[in-house]
Amino acid sequence: MILFENVRFLDTTLRDGEQTPGVALTSKDKVDIATKLDELGVNVIEAGSAITSEGERESIRAVVAEGLNAEICSYCRIMKPDVDYALACDVDSIHLVAPVSDLHINVKLKKDREAVRKMAIETTEYAKEHGLVVELSGEDASRADVDFLKSLYNDGVDAGADRLCYCDTVGLLVPEKAELVFSDICSAVKAPVSIHCHNDFGLGTANTIAALRGGAQQAHVTINGIGERAGNTALEEVVMTIEWLYKHKTGINTKEIFKTSRLVSRLTGIPVAPNKSLIGGNAFTHEAGIHVHGLLADTSTYEPIKPEVLGRERKIVLGKHAGKSSVTLAVKEMGFEVDDSQLHEILNRVKELGDHGKKVTDADLQTIAETVLSIEREAKVILEEYTVVSGNKVTPTASVKLKVDGQDVVEAGIGDGPVDAAFASIKKGVSGIADVQLEEYHVDAISGGTDALVEVLVKLSKDGKMVTARGSRTDIVMASVEAVLNGINSLI
C-alpha cells in the first residue's frame, strides 16, 4: 500500500465536538457546519447521536435533508434501539461503538468480553439487515487486549461490518506504538481501519499520522480539535501535515479551512487560541522587525506555508518590537506615501505606544500616520445618539442615530446582549455603504472598581479586508460602539 493513498476523513465536530463542555448546537447550526464540512470535502459527517433526544434527531434529519455529498453518520451504542433511532433519521451509516478494554467492559458495562462480543455481532447484523453502512469501533482500544480486539474486529466483519475503528479514548497512545499497533491490526483484519484519537497529552495529530503510516485508511477528526476534555485530533493539522510535510494530496479543499474554523468557533462559542497551529490568530501574524524584514525578501523565511493555502491573509502587527520594515509595509498597505523622516516619526510613535503596553491597532496606525502627514480624514459614519434597553425578561434592544455620508440614519436591532444589539443596529445603519462583519471582540478592564475604564478591541472585515480598532470608555457598550465605528471608518 502506498503511504497516505486515498486517506478518508470522518469529521465528528457535530458529535464528539459538541460534547465539549458548554456547547449546544441548534439544528440550523448543525446544518451550517455540515454544509461547510461538505464543501471542505470530508468523506463522512458524524451528525450526532440519534439516541440522545428528539431535538438531536431533528438536527440529524435536517443535515440528511441537505442532500450533501458526504456520508451522514450517527453514533450508536451496541444496542438495537440506538440503531432504530438512527434508521428513523435516514442516515447512511452508523458509528457502532463497543467498549473493548476490560476496564470499560467490567467497570462501566459490568459485563464480560463474550457478552460484549455477542452484543456487537448482533447489533452489527441488525444494522446491516436494515441497509446501514456499519463502522464497528473499539472504545478504549489503546488499553484493550490486542488479541481480543482483533478477534472482535474479525467477528464484526463476518457479521457484515464495512469498516473498523480503533479509539484512543483517553489519549494514551504514543506515535511509535500507534504505527506498530496499526501495522499489526491492519494486516490481521479484513476491513479498512480508522483511527480516532483524543488529545489528552497533546499527541492527537502525531498519533493519527503514525496510525495512517501504519495502515489506517481513515482519520476521525474535528474542526479546531474541539471535543471532550483536551479535545480530538484537529482536521486542519492532519490535512496540512499530510499535504505539506509528506507531500500527498488529501482531497480536502484547504482554502476553506480557515472559514470553516471561524464558523465552528462562532457557532460553538469556543475561541481558537491565538497560538493554535495553522488557524490561530497569530499563526501568520508578525511583529518583530527582523522577521518582517525577512518576509519582505521571501515569505518562506518565517512562514512554513503561504497563508492563502488555508484561505488566510498575512498580518503585520505593530508594537514595541516593530521595525522599519514593519511600519513601511503597514503604511504602504494603507495607501500612504512617506519619506524617511516621516517614517522615522511614525515608527517612534508606534514604539512609544508599545512601550506603554498598548496594542497598536490599524486604526491607531492610521491616526498616527495621518497626524504625522497632517492629513485630516472626515469620518463617513458619525454617532449622533444611541439607546440600549436590557434587563431581566427583556430582549436586549438598541437604537442608533447615525450620520452616514452626511445623511441621518436611524436603525434598531436586537441581540444576545446590549453590545450585540448595538452592533446589530449599527450594521443595519451602514448597510447602504458597507457590509461589515464582526470577526473578533475582546474587552479588558484597564483599572479596578465599578467605574473601571474599559478597553474594547474589535476585528472587522469587509470584502476580504480586515482591520482592528479600539474604544476606551467607562461604559462597556459605548466603548464597543466607539471601537466598531472606528473600525468601520477605517474600512470605508
Would you kindly state where each structural domain of the chain is located, as residue ranges?
A: 8-268, 285-372, 381-491
* Residue 315 clears pLDDT 90, i.e. is over it: no
Mean pLDDT lowest among 38-52, 257-271, 328-342, 427-441: 328-342
132 and 94 in contact (C-beta within 8 Å)?
yes
Mean pLDDT of the 403-428 span: 91
- Average of per-residue pLDDT values in the chain: 90
Please check the confidence at residue 288 and state whether its pLDDT lies above 60: no
Q: Kindly state the cell numbers that stand for 375.
A: 492629513
pLDDT of amino acid 274: 87
In this predicted structure, what is the pLDDT of residue 489? 86
- Is 97 or 368 the better-scoring residue by pLDDT? 97
Residue 5 has pLDDT above 90, yes or no: no
Architecture of the CATH domain 285-372: Orthogonal Bundle (1.10)
Lowest mean pLDDT among 125-129, 151-155, 351-355, 356-360: 356-360
Query: Is it the case that residue 219 has pLDDT exceeding 60?
Result: yes
Mean pLDDT of 402-412: 91
Whether 470 and 364 have beta carbons less than 8 Å apart is answered as yes
**pLDDT the model gives residue 312:** 87
Would you state the pLDDT for residue 82? 98
378 HSE (CA, 13 A, CB side): 5
The domain defined by 381-491 folds into Double Stranded RNA Binding Domain (3.30.160)
The per-residue pLDDT for 25 is 95
pLDDT at 296 over 60: no
Query: Is residue 446 over pLDDT 70?
Result: no
% residues pLDDT > 90 (the chain) = 63
Full-prediction pTM beyond 0.85? no
Cβ atoms of 243 and 249 closer than 8 Å: yes
Q: Does residue 292 have a pLDDT over 70?
A: no
Backbone phi and psi for residue 189, each to the nearest 5 degrees, phi listed first: -115, 165
Instruction: Note the pLDDT of residue 283.
Output: 85
Q: What is the pLDDT of residue 431?
A: 87
What fold characterizes domain 8-268?
A: TIM Barrel (3.20.20)
